Amino acid sequence: MISFNIVNYLSQLIRIQSFSKEEDFAAQYVQSILENDFFIPTQRYLNNVYAVNKHFTQGKFTILLNSHIDTVKPNPAYTNNPFAPIQQDGKLFGLGSNDAGGALMGLMGAFIHFYNQDNLPFNLVFAASAEEEISGKNGMEALFPILPKIDFAIVGEPTLGQIAVAERGLMVLDVVATGIAGHAARKEGVNAIYKALPDIQWFQTFQFPKVSDELGEVGMMVTQINAGSQHNVVPAECSFVVDIRVNDCYTNTEVLDIVQQNIHSTAVARSTRLNSSGVSAQHPIREVAKIMGLKTYGSPTLSDQALMPCESVKIGPGDSARSHTANEFIFIDELQNAMPYYIQILNDLGKLV
């Protein structure tokens, strides 16, 4: 196995401020590791960096190894310097250490391990993507079309080393009920709030018939509402927002169609691009999970999988519960096990594809 000081590499990355849309220096750092330390040529598109294995062969099953280089802004409750990599009590502290620096470095190390091998049963593409935390249009959505044809993706996120074989999609609706303004004392007009109430109740009670084995039911929640200008005016408009978490039985467009057929208000999706994702019941990664004794599950959180038009799973060191928290950290043993863990997954997968 190659010498890859994962703790040192991640520590240096923590020192680089890399908020979403501000990943320039982090992208340069990833390129410097691959090109200067391991002599691997890279390509860059916007703030995304990618590379392919040395003996890439057209037509061979191709696996994308991806994680992101951007972070959220530090939680106000930080007591540590978020950009200071601190090793203490078996932990490496720092912004982005858990989400998703550990996974990024583990996947990079695995890619470097396989890079020179000329008898691989698959091609490998490594991609360090930008704007994941905001599902931005200049991240994976922009990068994926210029990559080689991808058959399957391993997305590095903190999953406690388990395999998320499905991931919920996200769709946010702006819904408007329209009435007629009037004077409240004379009971004039048509109250838009009253018109909205049956639709709000529909969102609360409707159950989509298709239930996913891994993700359960489609979830809908009204999260914001706004109506009225003053106490004595019947409101002509009532607007509300619905957060919808879509399982892998539906596309976002299908869910939107069902909503629009069942409510009287006007519903407009802010976007339908963040679809659910995952792998089929027959995909060989499920057999790998059995071989390695790993739990499979459906993830409620969103990642770059939502922007990949291929089968994918989410796997990585760290714990999603630590993401975006103050004094974020990853256990050093989680970090040191990440690279051999990914290598084992790829070795086992290579016997099945």
Which residues are registered as beta bridge partners of 243? 172, 221
Overall pTM surpassing 0.85 (yes/no): yes
Closest CA to 193 of 179, 173, 207: 179
Same domain, 87 and 121: yes
Q: Which residues of the chain have pLDDT under 50?
A: none
Q: Are 164 and 315 within 8 A, CB to CB?
A: yes
- Residue 173 to residue 256: CA distance in whole angstroms: 9
Burial class (CB in 10 A: 0-12, 13-18, 19+), 343: middle
Q: According to the model, what pLDDT value does residue 2 have?
A: 82
Tell me the CATH number at 236: 3.30.70.360
On the question of a cis peptide bond just before residue 100, with omega within 30 degrees of 0, the verdict is yes
Count of domains observed in the chain: 2
- Among 269, 302, 336, the domain-final residue is 269
DSSP-assigned beta bridge partners for residue 87: 92
Same domain, residue pair 186 and 45: no
Is residue 129 domain-resident? yes
Copy the structure tokens of residue 48. 């995304």
Is residue 304 a contact partner of residue 66, using CB atoms and an 8 Å limit?
Answer: yes
Q: Do 258 and 299 share a structural domain?
A: no
Instruction: Measure Cα distances from 93 to 102, 205, 250, 307 in Å.
Output: 11, 43, 39, 29
Domain that holds residue 214: 169-269
Residue 270 to residues 170, 202, 277, Cα–Cα distance (Å)? 10, 20, 19
CATH number, domain of 55, equals 3.40.630.10
Looking at residue 154, what is its pLDDT? 98
For residue 187, the model assigns a pLDDT of 87
Helical pair 332-350 and 284-292, crossing angle rounded to 10 deg: 130
Does residue 102 sit in the same domain as residue 27? yes
**pLDDT digit string, tens, across residues 52-79:** 999 999 999 999 999 999 999 999 999 9
The DSSP letter of residue 311 is: E
